[in-house]
Amino acid sequence: MRTTIHIILILVIGLVLGLGIRQIRKSERANGPGPGEEVFTDAGVDVDAVDPSDAENAAPSHPPEDEEWLSKFELTERSGKKVASEDLKGQPYVVSFFFSTCPSICVTQNQKLKELQDEFAGQGVRFVAISVDPETDTPEILREYAARFGADSEQWLFMTGDLGYIRRVGSEVFRMPVDKQFHTERFVLVDPKGEIEGFYNWPEKAQFNKLKEKIQEMISSSEKKAS
């Protein structure tokens, strides 16, 4: 019996002490921070008076001055021959990035390019597929890979080179983030002058159809100028 009473007394004492400490802390908060405490507040700042333009950066970014910013490129085609961006001028071309060991996205992407090749077979447009795993994708490997899609050797080019250089080609020439075995799901349409016309997200049907329309417009325009 005595043991039970002692336990109850201990519990009651603990409860009373806990309530007392809680009340003391509440009182301290009401009186404000204690000495040495850091307080972060916007008191005294007129938020409405802050001009959003003060946070804007009006200065445009520029390429580093200590290295050349790529505006053209040269890579090795699956045939083993060097192909430069200057060689591609004169007709529109569609650029894509891929790698041969990619099991899913790249396969679907190249099936889309196969669809474009079939639709524009023998017409004035090229397709330029650039590997983002060049250590694996040698010209020999690319020849085998291209054959899987029935890629025409003149119209559909498969390119490889140095990974560091391909990173720069992607970001500086085509404004696309690429890295080893990494690329976006976009096609870049380049006009006959070598200027980027637009970026097309090929999984989206509307954008893919728009790409077809734009290619046809460019082909028709080139044919009119030639006649």
Binding site, annotated residues for Cu cation = 102, 106, 183
As a whole number of angstroms, the distance between CA 105 and CA 34 comes to 60
Specify binding-site residues: 102, 106, 183
- Torsional class of 172: left (φ above 0), alpha (ψ -120 to 50), beta (otherwise): alpha
User: Which amino acid, residue 81?
Assistant: K
Buried b (16+ CB within 10 A) or exposed e, 156-180: bbbbbbeeeebbbbbeebbebebee
Residue 127, classed as helix, strand or coil, is strand
Element (H, E) at 130: strand 126-131
Residue 96, classed as helix, strand or coil, is strand
